[in-house]
A and B are shown apart, each in its own frame.
Chain A
Amino acid sequence: MLDTIKTIETPEGVELKLTCVSFFARGCAWFLDTAFQVIIVVIIIIILVLNFNNVGKGLFLIILFALNWFYPIFFELYNQGQTPGQAVMNIQVLSIDGTLVNWKASFIRNLLRTVDFLPFFYILGIISILLNKNFQRLGDIVANTIVVYKWELDDHIDIKKVDSIAPAMTLNAIEQQMILNYAERFNDFSAERAEELALLAKPLITPSVQKAFERQSSNEKYPASKHLLAIANYLMGHK
């Protein structure tokens, strides 16, 4: 229940990390979808009210049936596993191996919605989500599907290019990665915060800070963060 990450190993030997969605975000998506469905029904009633005779009633019932059962199935199949509500919440229905749901899985999970709804208001579904390690409701368990967050790449960050400096000591891989991460996030920090964080890497930046201190030059502001950025450039391979 605490670990929301579902790791999938693909046949190519790569691990994909998917983040499972618990019942709150899914509930929000469900409310949004229900609201959309109600809006559609209201629009149809307005259209049909002009001639709400028996033909209108018949069409209305057919549309109600289709909305009730096929709204989620349609969007899961034709909108990459996302109903409009799920698209707003940025979540997605996937098969348990990380591929898009097929029609069988989509039918199963949406027909079994009836069971998840029991005894009232998705009580069984919520209990099932809370107990299941992949946050699956009963329909998901039977259909072998999961609901995951669909994440997107942030804007492209290029590490700021400055003249590179070799680090004064050997860094292991994880340390290198941390410095690269720092450099990638550099633009999000205020200059003071960037300096503050850079000062944590004491053994690396001490020489340059000392130098700046010795020179007493006032135009040399934030020496530590500049030095760390230069090291990041070195690690990246920018010359």
Chain B
Amino acid sequence: MNQAQFIAQHEQQWLILEALIRPMLIQPNDFFQEKIRALEPKLIQDADFSSLYRKVCQHLSLAQSRYYSPYLIKRLSLLVEQAHQVFYNFEQTYAKNNVFNAVWIFFSQTFPQTVRNEIKWLWLSSLFFFLPLFFMIFIIQIWPEFVFRIINPTIVQSIEEMYDPQLTHIGREREAGSDIMMFGFYIFNNTSIGFRTFATGLFLGVGSIFTLLFNGLYIGAIAGHLTSIGYSSTFWSFVSGHSAIELTAIALSGAAGLKMGFSLLIPGRKSRYQSLLDAAKISVKIMVGAMFMFFIAAFIEAFWSSSKMIPIYIKYIVGISLWILMCLYFISVGHTRNKASNET
């Protein structure tokens, strides 16, 4: 069969396939627009994408093996390439068109399930984070000067000023609208730290461990110091509200980074490369969940924790309830397994 016959026989199918993928492309090819318009609409409506796609793949192979003209081969391979992208992307397309459904499945199933499956990494990361934290709180009660070994005295002083019980506001200095400003600041700052904790885990987990230890020591030193100088009512009531979600989010970021880093170090029965790929796919789910936790924590920290109107004991109650609720969320949500949750 020569090329002219080949084109005459099959071009209609190529045009139909092109018409089918056209709405899904950002920049469709316009070279065959007139020919596509000339097609009967019924042909496009009745077309079966998958069988058509396979046929065109076959045409490409034939054109290649029969050494048809380079332009024809290029035309067919571009068509196949674009159809390939569309065809093997249906799940993604579905999730994109149903974002709320995808988000709902993520938080009602995927996220808590993933955290439960990877709980050992959360324990490990908590070890690196909470151990130095409580150690610092404890040691500063016995030896108050130790705080100056960790934190610069001028910074200690400015933190002391922020939590002075004499102030009308706690946390950083407050003016009108400052809640929103702090909300922005917490989102920008805390979430970025979380992301970096995760990313630097790629260096065999060292970056994550360092960030966890550093933050644990720092937060512990501040908490210990403010407690030891008698500012505990302002400090603990301020942090109690967002502590559950924020500290866990930090630990989860570390867990995601550790999983990724240790997958290179201890690949098990997989190749190191494969082990890394698999670990990253799971880690990123934890990280996205942690990101939303940072957002929630930032919201609580900006609008709830800083308020002086709310009695201290209510803040403590809310803080403890949030710890319990969060633990319940990770323990009990998402035990029913939905098919869609495997991939979204």
Q: Which residues of A contact B (CB under 8 A)?
A: 10, 12-14, 16-17, 53-55, 57-62, 64-65, 68-69, 77-80, 82, 94, 97-100, 102-104, 107-108, 111-115, 138, 141-144, 151-157, 159, 173-174, 176-177, 180-181, 183-184, 235-238
Q: B271 interface residue, CB < 8 Å from A?
A: no
Also in contact, A156 and B2, with CB within 8 A (given A14-B57, A99-B85, A184-B70): no
Which of B26, B181, B200 has the most chain A CB atoms inside 10 A of its CB? B181
Q: Are B285 and A104 in contact (CB-based, < 8 A)?
A: yes
Which one, A12, A80, A155, contacts B53 given CB within 8 A?
Answer: A12
Using a CB-CB cutoff of 8 Å, which residues 6-45 of chain B contact chain A? 25-27, 29, 31-32
A181–B263 Cα distance when bound, in Å, is: 50
Using a CB-CB cutoff of 8 Å, which residues 166-203 of chain B contact chain A? 175-185, 187-188, 191-192, 195-196, 198-200, 202-203
- For B314, list chain A residues within 8 Å (CB): none
Q: B84 interface residue, CB < 8 Å from A?
A: yes
- Stretch in B74-82, B153-161, B330-338 touching the partner: B74-82
Q: Size range of the interface on B? A: 35 or more
- For A17, list chain B residues within 8 Å (CB): 77
Q: Are A114 and B195 in contact (CB-based, < 8 A)?
A: yes
Smallest Cβ-Cβ distance to A16: which chain B residue: B81
Q: B120 interface residue, CB < 8 Å from A?
A: no
Which one, B31, B66, B182, B281, contacts A156 given CB within 8 A?
Answer: B31
Q: Are A62 and B188 in contact (CB-based, < 8 A)?
A: yes
- For B32, list chain A residues within 8 Å (CB): 156
Q: Are A102 and B92 in contact (CB-based, < 8 A)?
A: yes
Q: Are B88 and A59 in contact (CB-based, < 8 A)?
A: no
- For B273, list chain A residues within 8 Å (CB): 141
A60–B54 Cα distance when bound, in Å, is: 50
- For A152, list chain B residues within 8 Å (CB): 27, 29, 78
Also in contact, A12 and B54, with CB within 8 A (given A61-B185, A62-B188, A156-B32): yes
Q: Are B199 and A153 in contact (CB-based, < 8 A)?
A: no
Q: Are A79 and B202 in contact (CB-based, < 8 A)?
A: no
Q: B3 interface residue, CB < 8 Å from A?
A: yes
Given contacts A61-B181, A78-B96, A104-B281, 12 further A-B contacts (CB under 8 A): A10-B84, A12-B53, A55-B181, A58-B179, A60-B184, A62-B184, A94-B85, A102-B92, A153-B78, A176-B67, A184-B71, A236-B4
Q: B342 interface residue, CB < 8 Å from A?
A: no
Which of A103, A157, A183 has the most chain B CB atoms inside 10 A of its CB? A103
The list of the 5 closest CB pairs from A to B, nearest first, reads: A61-B184, A237-B2, A58-B184, A237-B4, A180-B69
Q: B95 interface residue, CB < 8 Å from A?
A: yes
Smallest Cβ-Cβ distance to B277: which chain A residue: A144
Smallest Cβ-Cβ distance to A62: which chain B residue: B184
